[in-house]
Amino acid sequence: MLELKDISVSYGPVGALHNLTINVAPGELVTILGANGAGKSTTLMTISGLVRPQSGSIHFSGTRIDTLRSHEIVKLGITQAPEGRRVFGPLTVRENLLLGAFTRSGHPREVEKRLDWIFTMFPRLKERKDQMSGTLSGGEQQMLAIGRALMAEPRLLLLDEPSLGLAPLIVKSIFKTIKDINQAGVTVILVEQNAKAALKLADRAYVLEVGHLRMEGPAQDLLDDPMVQKTYLGVS
């Protein structure tokens, strides 16, 4: 479904990704792990077209996308819920969600059906649909960011640090929702600081270190790996 082949990205003279190769099959839930500065968010932004690679290629369902603009990539079926949520505070919950459906503006009935599905998945958002998004709690804003990304009916959903700054009970709820989304047929790439939870949730995992791919494999194998346990799970 998705193939990154020998992708290199730099910010000025600083290399962020070095010949990175990643593959994601339809229906998978894949997590990308690594310390701060490893290149995890850069990987997602490169897939989304927000960052341009210096070399390499990205193909999605047979179409090369690393030369496309971001909105063209969204139309192909890739959306992202960014780190830090980044909801539009002065707009209502409903207005934020409708912005996520901008590529489907010609199908109002489908958009309303999609909105109803989001409200079923996140009842809290339905309760607050007319509330200004900037007044929501952190967990509610994360629900809104994911819901907004889902409004475009993606085939591939990119999630960047969905548990960041949230209380444990909210994190548990968000992770259950991510699993439900994946089981509903949406392929997911998850970047997550909570490595243990991410590995328990995912089918496969990649580990980045300063822009280089260091490990990859089934998530359970990495969960049991002594190096991963010591470096990312705090097991001595």
Contact 219, 200 (CB under 8 A): yes
pLDDT beyond 70 at 99: yes
- Closest to 22 (Cα-Cα) out of 181, 194, 189, 202: 189
Please tell me the predicted confidence (pLDDT) of residue 106. Answer: 61
Tens of pLDDT, residues 37-56 = 899 999 999 999 999 999 99
236: pLDDT confidence band, cut at 50, 70 and 90? low
Report d(CA 5, CA 149) in Å as an integer. Answer: 25
- pTM for this model (two decimals): 0.90
User: pLDDT per residue over 115-146, tens digit each?
Assistant: 998 998 888 899 999 999 889 988 888 889 99
| Strands of the chain, DSSP E | 2-11, 14-24, 29-33, 55-60, 63-64, 78-81, 156-160, 187-191, 204-209, 212-218
Could you tell me the domains of the chain?
Answer: 2-232 (3.40.50.300)
DSSP annotation of 132 = B
Q: Which amino acid is at 127?
A: E
SS3 assignment for 87-104: CCCCCEHHHHHHHCCHHH
User: Mean per-residue pLDDT for 194-200?
Assistant: 91
What is the helix, strand, coil percentage profile of the chain, to 5? 40, 25, 30
Q: Kindly provide the b/e burial profile for residues 30-52, where b requires at least 16 CB atoms within 10 angstroms of the residue's own CB.
A: bbbbbeeebbbbbbbbbbbbebe
Cα–Cα distances in Å, from 211 out to 5, 42, 53? 14, 9, 13
Grouping H, G, I as helix, E, B as strand and the rest as coil, residue 66 is: coil
What's residue 129's pLDDT?
Answer: 92
Q: How far apart are CA 26 and CA 80, in angstroms?
A: 17
* Cβ–Cβ < 8 Å for 183, 152: no
Most confident range (mean pLDDT) of 3-7, 89-93, 94-98, 112-116 is 3-7
Whole-number pLDDT of residue 72 = 94
Beta strands in 40-151 (DSSP E): 55-60, 63-64, 78-81
Residue 191 one-letter amino acid = V
Q: What is the pLDDT of residue 112?
A: 86
- Distance, CA of 78 to CA of 58 (rounded, Å): 13
HSE of 192, CA atoms in CB hemisphere, 13 A: 27
